[in-house]
Amino acid sequence: MNKCFDQVATFQKLWTDSFANMAIWSQFSPGFRPSEEMRKMRGGMLKVLAEAWVEYMRTLNGALDLKRTARGGMNIEEPGLDKDKVNTLEALSGGTVNMHKIKGQVAVITGAAGGIGQALALDMARRGAAGIALVDFSDRVVQVAREINAEAGRQVAIAYRGDTTDPAFRQEVFADVTTKAGVPRICVPAAAIIKDALAVRIDKQTGRVVIYPMEDFRKVVEINMIAPIYWAIELVAAVAKDRASRGLKRWQPEEGLQGAVVFLGSIASMGNVGQISYSSTKAGLEGAASTLMAEAMYYGIRCSVIHPGFTDTPMVRALGEDFIRTKVLPQTQLKRLIKPEEIADAICFMVTNAAVSGELWADAGWRPAT
């Protein structure tokens, strides 16, 4: 990196000298007409000046890129990452991996600004996690991280504001949290949206057939299914890279498990009227978890899915109190919404208990009306 900055200084001197040489033209009086040879000299000097400027900026940008990626204690501020993030945590995770406990682990949680994601982050902090990357599109994720750190009495949560469907943002989050806390071993990609409507309906006013908008379907698939799968894959890649750096290849049972992914499914994965896109994505996560686990166990990583029932989150509350009272609660044995903390506890159970695989239904005894 120092070499790169030396090059910047060289080009800066060339550029400055070029300006100094150009200053000689100011000595000519307005009526002085330089010869053709002098005009050519001036044109050549202008060309040198322009080329020097372009090369100077190219080299400077290269040096700054190196500086941004040289994370050894620097306070970096990059697009997509929260400027208020903590520079260092109290202790880096490392040594022997013990996936039977949350304590000492590094986790990445998307959709962490509220609902289940926020409850899970707080639960993991209380259980002694070494570092937690809180990822969300909402600015509120910053405040959530501050509240968790205040309660924990230590710097454990790091807020990252950005689009979970953006590959560059995802890679930056993993790189940054790895530097600050250690290799992530837990990933719970919980970010999701709903765009509910019937697949086909008749417009009562016009009598026309209306089909569910394809652009809405694509957006739900991108956020609810593709993005979570790639956040999980990113965790597998991080663990694989760490193992390769230590000369480790195929995982052996005596090593102990190396990581865990828990996808956030839904009871809607069985199908639900008005949720053609949402239900499709949640069902799709089942196949992804099964396939990814078959591959990721090469590195000692487990993958599973939890299917929450109607949980007291902003997404469910948006359905309206009347709908919840008349359509949801009568179909649950508990006759109440599930608490986000109950789902968070179940996720921690899935992470730490190696006997739990596949899918876990945390639906409060919900049964659809017949």
The continuous run of DSSP H or E covering 287 comes out as helix 276-296
Contact 346, 306 (CB under 8 A): yes
Cβ neighbour number for residue 273 with a 10 Å cutoff: 11
Task: Kindly report the backbone phi and psi dihedral angles of residue 216, in degrees, each rounded to the nearest multiple of 5, phi listed first.
Answer: -65, -40
Task: Look at residue 159 and give its three-state secondary structure.
Answer: strand
Long-range (24+ apart) CB contacts under 8 A made by 92-98 are 92/130, 92/180, 92/181, 92/182, 93/130, 93/131, 93/181, 93/182, 93/183, 93/185, 94/182, 96/256, 97/185, 97/255, 97/256, 97/257, 97/258, 97/259, 98/256
| Residue-by-residue pLDDT tens, the chain, 370 positions | 444 434 434 444 444 344 334 333 333 334 444 455 445 444 554 444 445 444 444 444 443 333 333 333 322 233 333 434 443 444 444 456 889 999 999 999 999 999 999 999 999 999 999 999 999 999 999 999 999 999 999 999 999 999 999 999 999 999 999 999 999 999 999 999 999 999 999 999 999 999 999 999 999 999 999 999 999 999 999 999 999 999 999 999 999 999 999 999 999 999 889 999 999 999 999 999 999 999 999 999 999 999 999 898 888 888 888 888 888 888 888 889 999 999 999 999 999 999 888 899 998 887 765 5
Q: Which residue intervals of 23-160 are DSSP H helices?
A: 36-69, 115-126, 140-152
Contact 99, 351 (CB under 8 A): yes
CA dihedral 231, 235, 237, 243 (to 10 degrees): 180
pLDDT of the residue at 368: 65
Give dist(CA 90, CA 231) in Å, integer. Answer: 25
pLDDT of the residue at 45: 46
Residues 6+ apart with CB under 8 A from 274: 196, 197, 198
Burial annotation 315-343 (CB, 10 A radius, 16+ → b, else e): bbeeeeeeebeeebbebbeeeebbebbbb
Task: Look at residue 211 and give its three-state secondary structure.
Answer: strand
Which residue ranges make up each domain of the chain? 2-69, 106-362
Task: Look at residue 269 and give its three-state secondary structure.
Answer: helix
DSSP 275: B
Give dist(CA 214, CA 316) in Å, integer. Answer: 23
> Which residues sit opposite 261 in a β-bridge?
187, 303
When computed from its CA atoms, the radius of gyration of the chain, rounded to whole angstroms, is 28
Q: What's domain 106-362's superfamily in CATH?
A: NAD(P)-binding Rossmann-like Domain (3.40.50.720)
Contact 116, 340 (CB under 8 A): yes
The burial of 136, by beta-carbon neighbours within 10 Å (0-12 exposed, 13-18 middle, 19 or more buried), is given as buried
